[in-house]
Amino acid sequence: MSDYDYYMVEYSFIVRVLKKYRVMAERLTPEGEWVPYHDLYDITMNGKWLRGGEAEAMATHKELLERNRQWEEEARKREEDERKKGNAT
């Protein structure tokens, strides 16, 4: 049994909360490192508990990173298209 509960916060990032004390949380960075995260209110109000534990958290983290990469690529393409339109006039 894991010592942590895992949450997806605001459909943006993954956090884990130490079950025993419920006052210590860590956020998973895009690089895969856990760093302190102090906004327990944000987790409480905007977090979605991931029942599958660490395995579900890691899979969700991967999905979030891929989604963000796609959004960044789409934004870059839109910017390029806008520049091309601006140069054509």
Model confidence band, residue 75 (pLDDT cutoffs 50, 70, 90) = very high
pLDDT over 70 at 37, yes or no:
yes
In one-letter notation, the amino acid at residue 39 is D
Count how many domains the chain has. 1
The model's pLDDT over 58-68, given as tens digits with 9 standing for 90+, comes to 999 999 999 99
pLDDT tens digit sequence for 8-33:
999 999 999 999 888 899 999 999 99
pLDDT value of residue 2? 84
Domain that holds residue 44: 4-88
The pLDDT of residue 40 is above 90: yes
Alpha helices in 22-52 (DSSP H): 40-46
Order across the sheet with 47-49: list the strands.
Answer: 34-36, 25-28, 13-18, 4-9, 47-49
Average pLDDT, the chain: 93
